[in-house]
Structures are given as structure tokens and as C-alpha cells.
A and B are shown apart, each in its own frame.
Chain A
Amino acid sequence: MTNSFSEFSRAKMFMLIGTNMTEAHPVAATFVKNALLKGAQLIVVDPRRHRLAEMADLHLPIRVGSDIAFLNGLMHVLIAEGWYDQKFVDSCTVDFDKLAATVMRYSPDYAAEICGVPAEKIRDTARRISSVKPMMLCYTLGITEHTCGTHNVMSVANLQMLLGNVGMECGGVNPLRGQNNVQGACDMGALPNVFPGYQKVGDMALRAKFERAWGVENLPAATGLMIPQMMEGLVDGKVRGFYIFGENLANTEPDIRKVEHELASAEFLVVQDIFPNETTRFAHVVLPAAAWSENDGTFTNSERRVNRVRSASVAPGEARPNWWIFRELARRFGQNWASDSAREIWDNELSVLAPQFGGIKYHRLEGDGLQWPCPLEDHPGTCFLHQDGQFTCGLGVFTPCEWTPPAEVPDQEYPLVLSTGRRLAHYHTRTQTGRCEGLNDILGEETADISPADAQALNIDQGETIRVRSRRGAVTLKARVTTEVPKGMVWMAFHFREACANWLTNPAFDNITMTAEYKACAVAVEKIHANR
């Protein structure tokens, strides 16, 4: 996020796109609702009429995967009518002409054809967002989990730059991170192309710096593999040893059958986790790890805030902190890492090696933590980025994008779009929430959410057991008929194994980030006659 949660309740206007905050980021949603009570305006762009859409001044139910067409349509109007922030564009950005040339082709009528929102509404939205300043834009996986995810992200950034809504309080481009420490895992360099602190592995000087710090030679320069490539490598033998730490890939990756085939092909699979799960079934070695609240450390939230995690109980049996396990393995290769606690790792290594964390030390994290960038020990941290139009690369660059459809679109055989996500009471594959007293009572099974119109057309009753089929698999589960979902869509989560949406989802990926298209694939819904 470029901005902070504490700004939410003071914001004047929100555009939420592809984010169902009340379920996926519930406390963030409360701040949005507080702002609404104080008179802020809310525009929700989402195929589903979820709870915040219900409360919105304007709900724009665009078709799944049409975000770029819609956003380009908005920018078309903003430019054509001269409603954009010319001063900001002139002084803080480059390549406006390129953007203008691309979005010129997305007239409201053309955009409307693709996204399903009437041209008049697109014009009205453009007028509204240009009349309030700043507008805060938030998005989640509805933007990224598409084959065009990177382009979606660029398009929301284009919009906010065009409106001059970056580099200020209560504005900005704010992706809410799904998992508690996705931000942190990225920051720490658990990515194939960067060291901790986003320092490129391809840069010789940076490699030399890490070689000195780590006391090693010849750090690899070539960018490594991303998860889907690793998985494919298991099948063709390019990847022989695979080490999975804390991810239940067998349920979370698209197309479970394919994933399980890949995992079963692994020559040597190490899984380090806190519970046996669908993925450990394929392991050759399982290593028991200490869980949250069983060791000290830090998480970094969506607003780049580094906060402490503290021990409250002891890990069961032989379970050990993850950092300890990695350190022990290094020792077996003759490397003796000095840092012997999370605190030493952070204070003596990470914060020394990654400049944006230079000023963050454990002794400064006792209260509300610190938001990076925080380069020096007397630096207060950074609530919002790009202040006064300062971007990391100097000026903000407009990167126009063309709309492309999802990899798999409905046809006669599979006439509905399946979109997936999370529900409030559970988290991911329920390895944790499924083992908490009471949470299964709140939500005990998966459902296929469908619209009343489709339910009627298919003669499906509320709660009836149905089958949902895609080219990759089929699941049997109860129908939940709800006006939340538009006609033509099925919506499911991936919390329950048997009816997990990922039996159905399409392993098609954004070719830059390799993010899977969890938000769109084609399915058919069927009545199960035998069971009635």
C-alpha cells in the first residue's frame, strides 16, 4: 500500500476494485465504513454485490476480467473532458501521450460493451471521481489474480496518477495484502529475482555486497524459477529437490489434479509445516515447525508496518522455529551462521543489508512498530509513499495497457464463469481455522454461490446439492442462491478440501508475475437427479 489504514476513516472518497474487504480484510473494512458514516463517498467496482457494495453510493458490477476496459473507459472520459489533474501529470509523470493514445480507443461505448456497465455510468463515474480530491483506491486479488493481473495493476496506477491522487494522505494505490506476511516475505527476498530489500540479484555490486556479508563466493546471478515453473520442473525432472515451507500447495494452486501429479513426481520433497496436510502426503521428509505465538519475530502488514510477534506458549514436541531449521541445514554445508535468534537475524543482518529497513531495530518495535522505508535509526518511518510526486525512479511513468480477455471464457459447454476467493470465518485451506473451536460452526462447508436467475433457469433450490464442473474436474456441493452474485457467475472459496474451488480453476498465469487466474474460468452447473 502506498498509504496507511489510519487514513481510511478520514478519506473523502473510495474506489474499491476487486476487493471484498468485509470478509478478506474485515478490520480494514470497518475503517471504510467509519468514513462512510462521516459522509465519504464509496464506489465499488466488483462483479459481486457484497456487503460494501450494498453500502456504496455507486456499485459497478463489471464483468469478470474486464477491469482494464472499464478503467481505460474512465480515463478516456477524464482526458476527453479535461477532467484529469493536468498540473500533476505535467510535473510528476511521463508518457502521458502514450496513455492518451491507448485510452482514446476505449470510448465509453466500447468499454461498456466489454465490461457490461452502461456508457452513461462510466461517464458519471468519471465525473464523480474527478470532482473529489483525493480519492483513495484500494484493490485486492480481484485485480491481480488474472492472466492480465500485471496490466490491471498498472491500469489502476495509471488512473490514480492521471487524477493526481498519489503522494498524498487519503489517496494512493492500495493493494491489501491477502496473507498476513506476504509483504514481509517479498521484503525478505523470498522471490527469484531479488535479495532482501528488493536488491536485484542480477546486479554485480549488490551480489558482491551480499557475498561479503554472508561470507560466501559466487552468489548466483540468474533469476530463479517462480512457483508454477518449479512445479512443472518436477515433472520434467529439471527440479529434483523441492522444499516447501508452510504452503499447502496441493489445495491452494489451481487445478488440484495437475498439482498433485506434479508433487507426486518430485524426486525428493521436503515439507516443513505445523500440521500434516494434503501436501505433506507427498513428502519424503516432514519437518515440524513452531507456529505463530511459539517464537519471537516480526510480520510486515499491507501498509509496510513491521510489527512484533511474541512467544506466548511453547511449541509441541520437537517442533522448532523455522529459522533454526534453515540454520541447521546451512551448518551441514559447513556454514555457521552467527545469528541465533530472530532478533539477531533482523538487527544484525537484514536491517544492515536492506537500506529501507536500516533504521528498524527490535528495540524500536515495542509499540506500534515502524513503517518502511525507514533508512536511519532516527527516521520515524513512512506513512505514505511518493510524497510530493517523488517516485523511486524519478517521475511516475504511465504504462498504458490493452484489455485482454481471461484465458478461458464461457462457451456452450461451460456457460458460467467461476470466480474464487475467501470467506470471513476461515482462512485458506483451514489448516488453522478448521482447528479452532467454533469457527467450523460458523461456516461448516463450502457452497457454490449462484444468482437467483441462474438457479431458476437450472431449477436449483436453495441448499440443493449440485455439481460444478470445469474442463479440469468436478465437485459436488450445496448451492447457495444469493443476490450477491450476478447472473452468469458461480462463486466459491478454497477452504474445504472436497469442494475446493481449485479442483476447477484454470492453471493459466499472468506471464510476468506467474499469478494464476483464480478469478476466472469456465464452468457448468448441474443438478444431481439421483440425489433428489
Chain B
Amino acid sequence: MTENFFSLNGNEVDFQPGETILEAARRHGVVIPTLCHLEGTTPTGACRICVVEVEGAATLMAACATPVSAGMRIKTESARVVQTRRTLLELLLASGNHTCAAGPTGAGSWTEAQMRARELDGDALCPAWGDCKLQELAFQYQAKPDRFVPAPDAPPPELANPMIERDFSRCIRCGRCLQACNEVQVNRAIGFGYHGTQSKIVTAGDRPLADSNCVFCGQCVQACPTGALVDKKSRDRWRSWEVEKIRTTCPYCGVGCQQWLHVRDGRIVRVTAVEDAQPNQGRLCVKGRYGYDFIYSEERLKTPLIREGDRFREASWDEALDLVAGKCKQIIAESGPNALAGVSCARSINEDSYNMQKLFRAVFKTNNIDHCART
């Protein structure tokens, strides 16, 4: 056996020095489930869902945190691994309000089980239903949890900010939100607080997000694998199976972040960042993530308007455009084309600016065209 090879489920495959078991396995198309691991951040080994069996090692190893070494013999779905994952999942399910998995999971297909659970959940359907990593793995590993009994002193959900709902009863303390906040966005707004069963994700001084360093970038929501963190604006409007995802570019600043628009019945109901995309690499800021609904404002201009004295009256496109064209022709005839001037928009699409400068140059015959280029 040469240097950079190891055995993965019985196959000899290569690895790159420094690569973790998880990374190498992914590269070779072998899926290892993860919960706490957040791409691009330091592995914490918190959840242990990614454990694999390494021949000769006494304990199972966390694939996300263990580098491959030459000659390792790894099994990613051995009976021991599966049993351990199932137990871990059952503990996680029992640790919080994960009602979606509480139904009988014994027989039938995964989808049937999901449908049954959905019926059982009824009104209290978790907002992350159908988009929850924990739920997905629970069904995959047929985890049968004990029914969850909320602790009498459990912290109530935090709803008192405009963007993010924090439901501590659904938190599995995986720490992904911390990684997102502290290592990805580096806003350093949240951390682990308290001990033991009281342990909880907290801001400095355990104050509400609105009174903390939080800037509402929503990166923690995007990272959360469960329903513990939810985009408030999307709650009850968004279900993963009811939306179409359309990729686009943020309309605000010059970074040009790539967004997924989650569209339901012709309406954007949620925005998330495109993972692994340039330039934003899965990140958005408060405007890009939550600043989308202005387009649905009732105050939108919906019809051409023509001034009459102090007021405007509604007009048809033909009437309005004929008026503009007629007036421009008159001004050009009387005072020459340079008596017209135009300002284009630095927020609108390229093709709009192209056509506007073409209108001024090719039709009006003036170069009096500018935009707020420098502000």
C-alpha cells in the first residue's frame, strides 16, 4: 500500500494530507451524516452523529474531526455505527420538543412515516418540518424516541425581535449557530451559556437578540439544523415542499451576493444564501436576507401618471409615452437635443441602463446621460 491510501468500506481509496475522514469520504461519494459540522469552520465534535468505526480503535471516531492517516480501515455504516447513531438520535429527540418523530416509526416507508407524523403533529407542526436534519436522520435511522416531557423550568421561546424566532425547546445544542455567528460572520453575538440540562445558546448577559451584538444577518438561522431558529418573516408561509427555489443576485450593495428566492404561489416567502457560490460563499446580511418584501408593498406605482395641476391622474401607457415622446420632440425641435438630460439607475439591471443610454444617444442625439456613479 502506498502512502496516501486508506480503506473506506472495503475499498482502497486515496486521501490528501490533512483531509478529515468526512472530507475524504465525501470526495469519494460516501455520505456520512452530520449535524454539528459546519463547512469551513473548526470542527467541534459536539454531536458525534458522524461517528465511524476505525479498525483497531477502541471507540468510534468523529469523522468530521478526525484526519485520515495512511492505512486506516474505516467502516461508515457498520452495525455498531448504526446502533450508536440511533441511540444518539433517540437521546436528541427526547431532549427537546421534537414531536414530529414521536409517532410510531416501525413499519412502512420513510415517506409514509413522515406523512403519519405530519398528521399526528397537527396544528403544532414544527416550522422546520420537512427541512430538519434531525427529523431526516431520525427517520433514516428509525430512531424511536421516548415521548418528550418539557421541563417545568425550560426557557420560553424568544419572539421579541423582528427577524428571528428562537425556540429553545427544539435546540439540540449542536453549536452550528455559534460557528455561523462567530467564525463565519464573526459577529460574536452568541455563545453557550449555563451548564448541564440548563445549557442554552445565549447572548452576552443572556439578553434578547435585539439588545445584543446581533446584527440580524440570519446566518445562524441558515445554519440551524432544526426548528430552534426560524426566520420570523417566513414562519407559516414557507414549507420546503411548497416552494420553488430561484437563484438571483441581491439588489442592495455592491458585493452582489447570490440568493435563493423561495417562491410560493408567485410570491417570495424566504431568502437564503446560495451555499458554495461566489462571491458570498453562503452568506447574506440583514438586507439581503430580510429586505425582499418591499416589492409587494401596496404603495407600488401601478399605472402611468400624468400631472394635472397639483394632482396626478392615471393614464394608459400609450397616452403617457405619447406625451413624453411628443414633449421631447418639441424640446429637441425648439432647443436642440442638449436641452434634454437623463439620469439612469445604479440599482437596476444592466440592460435597463444600456437601453436608456441608447435612447439618449441614438434617438435624442445627446450625451447628457449620467447616473449616481460616485455615490
Listed in ascending order, the chain A residues whose CB lies under 8 Å from chain B are 4-6, 22, 24-28, 30, 33-34, 36-37, 141, 144-145, 149, 176-193, 195-196, 201, 210, 214, 216, 218-220, 222-227, 230, 233, 238-247, 249, 252, 267-268, 270, 273-276, 280, 283-289, 291-295, 297-303, 305-314, 316-323, 325-330, 332-333, 335, 337, 342, 345-346, 349-350, 367-369, 424-427, 431-439, 441-442, 510, 513-516, 518
Give the residues in chain B near A28, CB-CB below 8 Å: 255
User: 1/0 per position for B150-161, CB-CB distance to A under 8 A?
Assistant: 000000000001
A432 touches B251 (CB 8 A): yes
Shortest distance from the beta carbon of A167 to any chain B beta carbon, whole Å? 21
The listed residue (B183, B216, B291) touching A432 by CB distance below 8 A is B291
A6 touches B301 (CB 8 A): no
Within 8 A of A (CB), among B143-180: 161-163
Give the residues in chain A near B287, CB-CB below 8 Å: 26, 424-427, 433, 439
A286 touches B301 (CB 8 A): yes
B312 touches A182 (CB 8 A): no
- In the complex where A185-B344, A247-B343, A515-B375 touch, is A285 in contact with B323 (Cβ < 8 A)? yes
A310 touches B280 (CB 8 A): no
Kindly list 4 other residue pairs between chains A and B, CB separation below 8 angstroms, not including A201-B361, A439-B286. Answer: A185-B348, A190-B357, A195-B361, A329-B359
B278 touches A187 (CB 8 A): no
> Is B205 on the interface with A (CB-CB < 8 A)?
no
> Is B98 on the interface with A (CB-CB < 8 A)?
no
> Is B26 on the interface with A (CB-CB < 8 A)?
no
- In the complex where A240-B339, A312-B261, A312-B268 touch, is A436 in contact with B291 (Cβ < 8 A)? yes
Give the residues in chain B near A435, CB-CB below 8 Å: 293-294, 297, 299
- In the complex where A192-B370, A313-B263, A318-B317 touch, is A230 in contact with B343 (Cβ < 8 A)? yes
Give the residues in chain A near B354, CB-CB below 8 Å: 188-189, 196, 323, 345-346, 349-350
**Which of A27, A233, A247 has the most C-beta atoms of chain B within 10 angstroms of its own C-beta?**
A27
Give the residues in chain A near B301, CB-CB below 8 Å: 273-276, 280, 286-289, 317, 319
Query: A84 CA to B372 CA in the complex, in Å?
Result: 36
> Is B277 on the interface with A (CB-CB < 8 A)?
yes
B362 touches A335 (CB 8 A): yes
B358 touches A26 (CB 8 A): no
The listed residue (B163, B295, B367) touching A223 by CB distance below 8 A is B367
User: 1/0 per position for B334-372, CB-CB distance to A under 8 A?
Assistant: 110111111111111111111111111111011111111
By beta carbon, the residue of chain B nearest A428 is: B347
Q: How many A-B residue pairs have CB under 8 A?
A: 470
User: 1/0 per position for B275-310, CB-CB distance to A under 8 A?
Assistant: 001111101111110111111110111111111000
Give the residues in chain A near B342, CB-CB below 8 Å: 242-245
User: 1/0 per position for B86-100, CB-CB distance to A under 8 A?
Assistant: 000000000000000
Shortest distance from the beta carbon of A140 to any chain B beta carbon, whole Å? 9
A190 touches B375 (CB 8 A): no
Give the residues in chain B near A177, CB-CB below 8 Å: 253-254
Query: A323 CA to B374 CA in the complex, in Å?
Result: 23
The stretch of B67-75, B117-125, B325-333 in contact with A is B325-333
B303 touches A317 (CB 8 A): yes
> Is B80 on the interface with A (CB-CB < 8 A)?
no
> Is B211 on the interface with A (CB-CB < 8 A)?
no
Shortest distance from the beta carbon of A296 to any chain B beta carbon, whole Å? 8
Give the residues in chain A near B346, CB-CB below 8 Å: 178-182, 184-185, 246-247
B347 touches A180 (CB 8 A): yes
Give the residues in chain A near B352, CB-CB below 8 Å: 245, 297, 321-323, 326
> Is B28 on the interface with A (CB-CB < 8 A)?
no
Shortest distance from the beta carbon of A223 to any chain B beta carbon, whole Å? 6
Query: A185 CA to B356 CA in the complex, in Å?
Result: 10
Query: A181 CA to B254 CA in the complex, in Å?
Result: 6
Query: A24 CA to B337 CA in the complex, in Å?
Result: 38
B329 touches A149 (CB 8 A): no
Shortest 6 CB-CB distances between A and B: which pairs? Answer: A301-B256, A317-B302, A246-B345, A297-B349, A177-B254, A224-B367
A227 touches B343 (CB 8 A): yes
> Is B252 on the interface with A (CB-CB < 8 A)?
yes
Give the residues in chain B near A433, CB-CB below 8 Å: 287, 291, 294
The listed residue (A191, A289, A305, A314) touching B369 by CB distance below 8 A is A191
Query: A516 CA to B254 CA in the complex, in Å?
Result: 20
Shortest distance from the beta carbon of A139 to any chain B beta carbon, whole Å? 12
> Is B233 on the interface with A (CB-CB < 8 A)?
yes
Shortest distance from the beta carbon of A300 to any chain B beta carbon, whole Å? 6
Give the residues in chain A near B365, CB-CB below 8 Å: 218-220
> Is B112 on the interface with A (CB-CB < 8 A)?
no
- In the complex where A219-B365, A270-B324, A275-B297 touch, is A437 in contact with B373 (Cβ < 8 A)? no
